[in-house]
Amino acid sequence: MTDVMQAPGRLDYPVSPHARKGGLQAAQRRIGMLMLAPAAIAFSIIILYPFVQALGLSFFEDTLQTIEPTFIGLANFKAILTDPETWQSFGITVVYVGGATIGTVVLGLGWALILNQPFRGRRVIRALTIMPWVVPSTVSAFVWAWIFNSRFGVINGVLLELELIDVPQAWLSTPEGALAAVILTRIWRSIPLFMAFFLAGLQNVDQEQIDAARVDGAGNSAILRDHLLPHLRPVLIVVVVLGVIGGLQDFDTIFALTGGGPVRATSVLSISVYRKAFEQWDIGMASAMGVLWVATLLPPAYFYLRMLVKGR
């Protein structure tokens, strides 16, 4: 730029006293970085540093016996990868996160479609719908545990009353029952959030587009299939991200509802890591498990998110 200003034949004026150094773009860059700084610092201290430390610990034997950790290389990873429990945990996590996410998407979408339709009492229902999301997760675990309770639970009560079973069943004591219960609880808790996102998406639907489809002869199912679902695709992508994050990180409900049992039927990764670390005091192993988890998830997450950010 300077060379241009000195180019021959150009009129020469005095530079305005208000002119600033470095130009506009550099200033903007500085301000942008300044605004990011607080979050970046918090992120580094509270998330990144602990993670890096955990990464380091995963190469150490750090248990109750070894108050000073000793370096053991990849032994922790080897132990984990050869332990069938690890794979079981991964499997359960997949079922749990997958089941809960799919279930919530389906029901949350269904509920959003319903609440997008005008009918009397809609406002009240919309307002009430938020409840399962805002009750503390411990509470939702309580409620569902109570509903599933083998002695006094309402499910048993109803089934007994209907004579579908003759003795009370211990739902939470079977692997399937317990997994179903934690998934149902998770779905119950997340429907409101998903519903809100879908509803927001639906409120952005161009009514003229739907009218056009009606004129073209589309019935309700065609409207849903050909127009609403494609329209909601971006929302769906985001909702799936949030659902997966929420599911993976969910600890509270499962811990309060089944504690990971019976046996290990509901020991998702978050529970397993907790168990390893805080019940068996094997920090090195727990770190290795967490690192493995991140290693599995981070690359796909990064690319998925990049797609999300770019595809907007």
Partner 1 sequence: ADLSWMGYSYAEESAKPSVEKIIAGFTAKTGKTVEPIPSAFGDLQKNVFLRARSKTLPSVVQISERWLPSLSKLPGLVDYNTVFGKENLEKIYAPEALAMGQIDGKQLAVPLMSGSIGMVANQAALTKAGITDLPTTVEEFKADLVAIRDKVPNSVPYAMATKNNSDILVDFLTWEYVFGAHVIDPEGKVVVDSDASRKALAFLVDLMKERLVAPEIGRPDARRLVGQSAAAFYLDAPQSRTFLRSFSGQGPAFDANIKPMQVPVVKAGDTPVSIQWAHLIISFAQNSPPTKEDANMQFIAYLGDDAVETQFPVEQSALPGTKSARANPVVASDAYLSAWAKNNTHPRRNEVGIWSNGGELTDILAQEVQAALLGQKSADEAISSMSTRMKASMTKAGHAQ
Partner 2 sequence: MAKLELSGIRKSFGAVDVLKGIDLTVEDGEFVAFVGPSGCGKSTLLRLICGLDEITAGQMAIDGEIVNDVPPAKRGIAMVFQSYALYPHMTVAGNMGYALRLAGVPKEEIHSRVAAAAKVLRIETYLDRKPRQLSGGQRQRVAIGRAIVREPRIFLFDEPLSNLDAALRVEMRIEIARMKEELGTTMVYVTHDQIEAMTLADKIVVLNGGTVEQVGSPLDLYNKPVNRFVAGFIGSPRMNFLTLGARKADNVHAVSGGEIRLAAKLSEAPAEIGIRPEHISLTARGAPDSLAGKVTMTEHLGSDTYAYVALDGSQDVLVVRLSGEKAIKRNEPIGVHADPGMAHVFSAAGLSLASARPVSLEAA
Partner 3 sequence: MFDLSSRTAKLVFGGTILLIGFYLFFPIYWMIISSLKANEELYQVLPTFFPRNLTLSHYWSLMTESQLGLYLLNSLITSGASATINTILAIYAGYSFAKYRYPGRQPIMLFMLSAQMFPFGLLLISIYPVMTDFGLLDTRPGLILSYIVFALPVAVYMLYSYFSQVPDELIDAARADGASDFRIFHTIVIPISIPPIVTVFLYSFMWSWNDLLYSMTLIVSEDKRTIGPGLLLTYLNETNADWGGAMAASLVVSAPIVAAFMFLQRYFIQGVTAGAVK
| Residues 267-306 contacting partner 2, CB under 8 A | none
By rule CB under 8 A, what string of x and - marks binding of each residue 46-85 to partner 1? ------------------xx-x------------------
Number of residues that bind partner 1 (CB under 8 A): 23
Angle between helices 269-278 and 283-310 (to 10 degrees): 150
Site for partner 1 in 226-245 (CB under 8 A): none
Q: Which stretch binds partner 2 (CB under 8 A): 36-44, 216-224, 251-259, 292-300?
A: 216-224
Stretch that binds partner 2, among 2-10, 36-44, 70-78, 115-123 (CB under 8 A): 2-10
Q: How far is the CB of 16 from partner 2 (least distance, A)?
A: 4
Does 173 bind partner 1 (CB under 8 A)? Our answer is: yes
Token pair in block for residue 122: 């809609």
Question: CA 62 to CA 59: how far, in whole Å?
Answer: 9
Report CA 236 to chain centroid distance, whole Å. 13
| Closest approach of partner 1 to the CB of residue 282, in Å | 8
Q: Tell me if 154 sits within 8 A of 147, measured CB to CB.
A: yes
Partner whose binding site includes residue 230, from partner 2, partner 3, partner 1, none (CB under 5 to 8 Å by kind): partner 2
What is the C-alpha to C-alpha distance for residues 50 and 42, in angstroms, rounded to an integer? 12
Collapse the DSSP code of 7 into the 3-class scheme (helix H, G, I; strand E, B; otherwise coil) and give the result: coil
Rg (CA), the chain: 27
- In sequence order, the 6+-apart residues with CB closer than 8 A to the CB of 168 are 150, 151, 153, 156, 160
Candidates 243, 245, 251; CA nearest to 137 is: 251
Residue 307 in contact with partner 2, rule: CB under 8 A: no
Residues that bind partner 1 (CB under 8 A): 64-65, 67, 149-151, 167-168, 170, 172-175, 259, 261-264, 275, 278-281
